[in-house]
Structure 1
């Protein structure tokens, strides 16, 4: 019974550590993805992901690649902890006497995990994207002043996460941090419905024996394949523009998902919905590959094993 009692806390610890390590490794790629997607056609500062990272380092220094990372690293711990632990929680309660889950039940578990995680994901994405795009705008003013200010370059200080949070809370209250909650669900729930069943089945192919765990490299590859597949599948609801998601995610300038979709179709055509798909796959694949390896290492169980067990 003791193992069951510490199971959920251990999984939450595993998920939090997995998220911290994964995000730290892939954040520069994520920043480049955001800035590439946010470019206007008439004033393109970056030509590729590598060009974006090089220019970011030149204009903002090495740590410029981690602009907005503080928000992610602060919130990604509960976000990944909730996502990964909730999936295991739902899988456990949907299984009967430890029997293998059907595909439908695996999808239901993923749906539950995706629904739970948006509590943290929505404000995290809102702040992260605004911080990342603020750096792009500042770099554009510095490197391409003629496209922004005809009279010459103007020094603009990028806002901090605390400043953005205060402004949103002052102007719109708590609801301001959760603008686009329904749209976030449209991205994160389908992602989890695709990702978790695909990962579980791929990972099971490499298991050692009937009950043995899969080697770490199998978990890594399974996380990469499942993550990139789910990322590309939901890319149409993950476009970005002007400091916020502008298809169906956290829309700051759009009033509705339908309005965002209509505007994209009219101005850029259907191909715009796959804009940045390869960048998103490059971010998500290693992120979830690394996260799954860390998650299955059982760091949480190891830490909790040192805590004194309560006697009944």
Structure 2
């Protein structure tokens, strides 16, 4: 009887290493493989996109729009000459955050497409199911992408005097500024609109281009550019919400007496003088003078209108409702402003989504070829 050259436990380990299909079939479920592939591909794309993302954030903010006149190239050259390292501001956040973000987006899309394919008999994947898969994937990724945007945009738009702070100090200050966990989801409504519209277009378009024989990198770049263009207005609104300073609109000169919500009141003194009190403004909230009754009526009407207008304006300025914010931007700056940063986003989408979707396709194909996945569909 021949003796065994290797212990049975070591032999079993070698078999699992030599035959990865055995390891994956019994230990690693398909969803985990999908999420892992998405994380790797997304991280690669994030690194390529970071300089474009920095410039985009600068010119979309109100302060940056005035400083650079919506000129992304001017922002890039000025930053490159004065603070070249600033172009990579937020890169650790992007790489750390984009990995789970992309793993959720790409992973959920793959899982839903596999489910729809099985439900359809494993033959053809209808277009509507690809759109639904992409839209749901975009909605799911908001759980990760919204906090990522809040932190990243705040870091990228910090003032020059704050640039010398250490990394830990920056994160500590950002955490204080966003008011904790709740603040990490500021502007989440705009983020939902942006991400759902993007993925609902990007993934079906990529599949169509890939199925037509186009190279994965080129298909990813083309679908990324088209989807990025469509999602730019929502991204612009999201950036404005995140960078907007919560300031009260100044009232007209006379209505300074009503700078608070207290309703103005009038009382008569013994000498015939009428005293108007509004809770704020001149003379500790009062204006003293002798007025005719008709003048008082007119003044009270003006005060009421000023308070109503100011309250409405401040509600819009402090609102996170993306439709109200977009309306205000269009009224004050014109509709073209909603596409500020579209060039930077679209140019950056070429390496970002070309690398992300190209790497994702290659990794999915490799995983299927070695038995890591039971099925494989274009992203």
- Normalised by the length of structure 1, the TM-score is 0.77
Partner of 1:117: 141
Aligned mate of 2:325, from 260, 265, 274: 260
1:81 has 2:106 as partner: no
Runs of 5+ unmatched residues, structure 1: 139-154, 207-216, 308-312
CA apart distance, 1:258: 2.9
Matches of 2:49 and 2:113, distance apart in 1: 28
Equivalent positions of 1:130-145 (< 5 A) are 130-134=154-158, 137-138=159-160
CA apart distance, 1:251: 6.9
Matches of 2:66 and 2:244, distance apart in 1: 22
CA contact (8 A) 1:14 1:81 kept: yes
Partner of 1:29: 52
CA apart distance, 1:93: 0.8
CA contact (8 A) 1:122 1:250 kept: no
CA apart distance, 1:53: 2.4
Matches of 2:64 and 2:144, distance apart in 1: 32
Runs of 5+ unmatched residues, structure 2: 1-21, 247-317, 373-379
Matches of 1:10 and 1:300, distance apart in 2: 12
SS in 2 for 1:221: helix
Partner of 1:167: 176
SS in 2 for 1:100: coil
Matches of 2:68 and 2:243, distance apart in 1: 24
Matches of 1:196 and 1:245, distance apart in 2: 24
String of CA shifts for 1:158-179, please: whole Å, max 9, x gaps.
665522443156x3x3211112
Q: Count matched residues.
A: 272
CA contact (8 A) 2:139 2:196 kept: yes
CA contact (8 A) 1:23 1:73 kept: yes
Partner of 2:116: 94
CA contact (8 A) 2:131 2:204 kept: yes
Partner of 1:189: 196
Q: Which structure has the greater CA radius of gyration?
A: 2
Aligned mate of 1:226, from 218, 223, 233: 223
- Normalised by the length of structure 2, the TM-score is 0.65
1:245 has 2:235 as partner: no
Equivalent positions of 1:190-229 (< 5 A) are 190-206=197-213, 218-229=215-226
String of CA shifts for 1:47-99, please: whole Å, max 9, x gaps.
743432232133223x2210111111110110011111110001011122222
String of CA shifts for 1:210-240, please: whole Å, max 9, x gaps.
xxxxxxx711111111111111112111116
1:72 has 2:69 as partner: no
Matches of 2:177 and 2:365, distance apart in 1: 35
Kindly tell me: are residues 41 and 13 of structure 1, through their superposed partners in 2, closer, same or farther at Cα, counting changes over 3 Å? closer
Kindly tell me: are residues 280 and 42 of structure 1, through their superposed partners in 2, closer, same or farther at Cα, counting changes over 3 Å? closer
Matches of 1:164 and 1:190, distance apart in 2: 32
CA contact (8 A) 2:25 2:371 kept: no
Matches of 2:87 and 2:354, distance apart in 1: 21
Matches of 1:250 and 1:184, distance apart in 2: 14
